[in-house]
Amino acid sequence: MLGRAVVDAAARREHDVMGATRAELDITDADAVRRAVCELCPDAVVNCAAYTDVDGAESDRATAQAVNGDGAGRVAAAAAAAGAAIVHVSTDYVFDGSKDEPWLESDPTGPLGAYGATKLAGEIAVAQANPSHAIVRTAWLFGAGARNFVDTMLALGAQREEVSVVTDQIGCPTWTGHLAGALVALAERPSQTGVHHLAGAGSCSWNELAVEVFRQARIDCRVRPATTADFPRPARRPAYSVLGSERVGALVLAPWRQGVAEYLATRVAA
């Protein structure tokens, strides 16, 4: 989902860009990663690969660690060996959700589950493996190419008169089309190292996001309030994972509602 958007964004900016699917390059294969990066000899590598099954990670932490932790470090090390910068994508789930104001880059991490813990391990591995690194924490991604909340709501709204969606998880919905351009911009600026928070501007609950999706798509489906406790899941979710930035001159993404509008427009065009 994100990788395709990054390839498109890089091509629009007239970069020579090579994308690889998991079938073409498995980042848990150290030799394959080294060969691929060495052969391409790129100026920058953007790592969009991740194990993103939040609940699945609770019962399969080894696989999540192999991709999100060890694999991330492996890609960063291969980039460093080739003299390339690394832009690595991380998550708001490295935080425990206990704040009631936006999380900043310097805030202490405290993941609640295996997914967030393995993504945090990846951040550490990337920083250690490549001094020219930009670690980008983002949140609540939606876009073309993979299952996501917006598509799920559109499908449910076409089938049902009402849905129940939680009101007690707050975050920043982020369209891959907006995030991708920012990732490419960071790849062009290898001096901007460290952690960056990049997510759709503003914040909302999953419930509010569903309401907005139906409003914009003109779908007549009621959205009833629910709580996290109403939908027990193997992994705990942070209650408040809104991302903010303390970086001077930080990149800022468009508001999340605009992201929804632009994504829906791309679906109509397609």
- 49 closest CA partner among 75, 31, 30, 29: 75
* Span 53-92, pLDDT tens digits: 999 999 999 999 999 999 999 999 999 999 999 999 999 9
Give the burial class of 223: count Cβ atoms within 10 A of its Cβ; 0-12 exposed, 13-18 middle, 19 or more buried. Answer: buried
How far apart, in whole angstroms, are the C-alpha atoms of residue 188 and residue 250?
15
* pLDDT band, residue 270 (cuts 50/70/90): confident
Question: Going by C-beta distance under 8 Å and a sequence separation of 6 or more, which residues neighbour residue 177?
Answer: 5, 9, 143, 259, 262, 263, 266
Residue 268 has pLDDT above 90, yes or no: no
Report the alpha-carbon distance of residue 198 to residue 128 in Å, rounded.
22
Domain locations along the chain: 2-269
Q: What is the pLDDT of residue 93?
A: 98
For 90-120, the pLDDT digits (tens) are 999 999 999 999 999 999 999 999 999 999 9
Binning pLDDT at 50, 70 and 90, where does residue 2 land? very high
Q: How far is CA 106 from CA 16, 103, 194, 197, 199, in A?
A: 34, 8, 10, 10, 16
pLDDT at 46: 98
Summarised one tens digit per residue, pLDDT across range 227-258 is: 999 999 999 999 999 999 999 999 999 999 99
Asked whether the predicted pLDDT for residue 212 surpasses 90, the reply is: yes
pLDDT at position 265, please? 96
- Residue 175, token pair as written in the block: 């369209």
The catalytically annotated residue of 93, 115, 240, 263 is 115
Active site annotation includes 115: yes
Helix 256-269, helix 206-217: angle, nearest 10: 40
pTM for this predicted structure: 0.95
Mean pLDDT, all residues of the chain: 97
Distance of CA 232 to the CA centre of its chain: 23
Asked: is 2-269 a CATH 3.40.50.300 domain? The reply is no
Q: Residue 121 above 90 pLDDT?
A: yes
For 127-186, what is each residue's pLDDT tens digit? 999 999 999 999 999 999 989 999 999 999 999 999 999 999 999 999 999 999 999 999
pLDDT in tens, 66-75: 999 999 999 9
113-147 as b/e: b if 16+ CB within 10 A = bbbbbbbbbbbebbbebbebbbbbbbbbbbbbeee
